[in-house]
Structure 1
């Protein structure tokens, strides 16, 4: 998730200060990826350092506004035009957990899978309910459309996770049903060493 480019996208619509950026970012993503103000200002500092945003004055309450620069707009357009790379997929905690569980003695991997499936099914129900509410509210609003797209991504992602968990359970069952490797037999005694034969004298 690119906070950097998300803030650039918001600033492309006009100058804003940190708390406004945080509020709008969370509103458009349904607070799926909550930000704190410290993250926002740290990112703004880096964007300013890189010449992508610049200070744009203060209001009467002392809020410092930032505006996007032409270089910032160019980077934002490049971000929109460039596919998200899959060459370095993000670390998935669930995949790492299961990979470790199958290699650590004493872990009930089936229980881990079933517990995660219950959790994922509950999350899927919650996302589906929120999607229904979003469709009923005001689907013509762009902010609601943004939240709806995020919700649908979460739904598809969770559905895929549940299918993967089902696959993991099948794979574990297949692995458990494999015939055990044969026990190694007793090692054969090494043949006695013999010296070179002497030729008989004639």
Structure 2
């Protein structure tokens, strides 16, 4: 799939009530804030079958924790919250001669939550790849369409880039520089999406092995 740049266009007038400086501040915040949904990732891993906390941490670290492995406290705090919200349930308790370990299973509500999270495009912003990578790998691990996920995200990126371009053309030099900063990062995201789409078969083989 070819990538089409949305950076062309005509100058647009300033719209009434719109504060471009406020938008520039929003772009700045977007550039420095990146997130990752550990809870959705752990939920997705449970679709392969019930697991206890230690196994969840180990599986998470294999697929996603190369630079930032999970702490056990994060796992158990997250599972406690998911249990309270009805997204997982206790499937049993293992002892094996040591401390008791709860085995968790995903509920129907949990499966629905994962599906909605995977289908929902992320707010386009720089340094988003870690979240998108999690979504792509989980889609492959749970036999969902990673192609559809990437297509949806690509469309959302292009939408924001068109909006940024319109606001850049209507702004002063400071506004233009801030918008350019965001646009360059979003273009890099798009290249990453295209590269990932081209390597999905290879990635699927590796994560499922």
Answer yes or no: same fold by TM over 0.5: no
Q: TM-score, normalised by structure 1?
A: 0.43
Q: TM-score, normalised by structure 2?
A: 0.42
Task: Identify which of structures 1 and 2 has the higher relative contact order when contacts are C-alpha pairs closer than 8 Å and 6+ apart.
Answer: 2
